[in-house]
Amino acid sequence: METIYTPDQNELRRISELPTEPALRQAAAFLADLARDRTFQVALILPLIQEAEGEKDWYVACRYQAEDGAFSPKVFVWPSGTGTRIHDHSSWGVYCCASGAVLEERYERFDDGSHSDHARLKKVWQLWWSPEDGASTVLPADDGIHRVGNPGDETAVSVHLYGPSVSEVDGRDYDPSRDHVCDRQEGGEEKVPDQFKDLLED
């Protein structure tokens, strides 16, 4: 019987306590190793790909939040043709693909930020991310405005790690068609699937 891969929560905490730049570097290496780990692939990623058949939208399949909010690993499933709206986060974040590929578009603001619900954006780059491409990193707030999606033909699965929040809101959503931005609250109880709890036990 194969042993379930068990990430070290002490390592996640250690990373979350670092200053942002070294935290991003070490989180990227941690996730790249996790995404390539065979037992992690067999225990979680492959079943998620099978379960995603027929899904019409992307979703967070597994999530875990440290009690003090210091770190939060998540696993996203991206069926073909799905993607997020343009958004930012209230923490630094890192993600890498464990299966398939996603397209990330990165944006910058070119307004002065003086109006709370107004933002003018310009797209500055886009990149495909696959398991061979390493990890993408984002900074909090205006320094990490992006959109992630899967315009490809096959389901993709990505593994994410978020650091401590610097704001009371989860982040902001942007609508460039109206030059609009609004706060996003993460709501409700977060269900943690048993197989993800097993993967995160000390």
- Count of the separate structural domains present in the chain: 1
The yes-or-no verdict on residue 2 having pLDDT over 70 is no
Rounded Cα–Cα distance for residues 167 and 153 (Å):
36
Is 182 within the bounds of a domain?
yes
Is 133 within the bounds of a domain?
yes
Is 200 within the bounds of a domain?
no
Is 201 within the bounds of a domain?
no
Q: Considering the entire predicted model, what is its pTM?
A: 0.86
- pLDDT at position 193, please? 43
pLDDT in tens, 106-130: 999 999 888 889 999 999 999 999 9
Rounded Cα–Cα distance for residues 193 and 191 (Å):
6
| Coil, helix or strand at residue 44 | helix
The yes-or-no verdict on residue 91 having pLDDT over 60 is yes
**In the numeric block, which tokens belong to residue 73?**
């690993």
Q: Domain of 50?
A: 9-192
Is 33 within the bounds of a domain?
yes
Is 199 within the bounds of a domain?
no
Is 2 within the bounds of a domain?
no
CATH of the domain at 25: 2.60.120.10
Smallest CA-to-CA distance from 134 within 186, 185, 176, 96 is with: 96
With cut-offs at 50, 70 and 90, classify the pLDDT of residue 8.
confident
The yes-or-no verdict on residue 5 having pLDDT over 70 is no
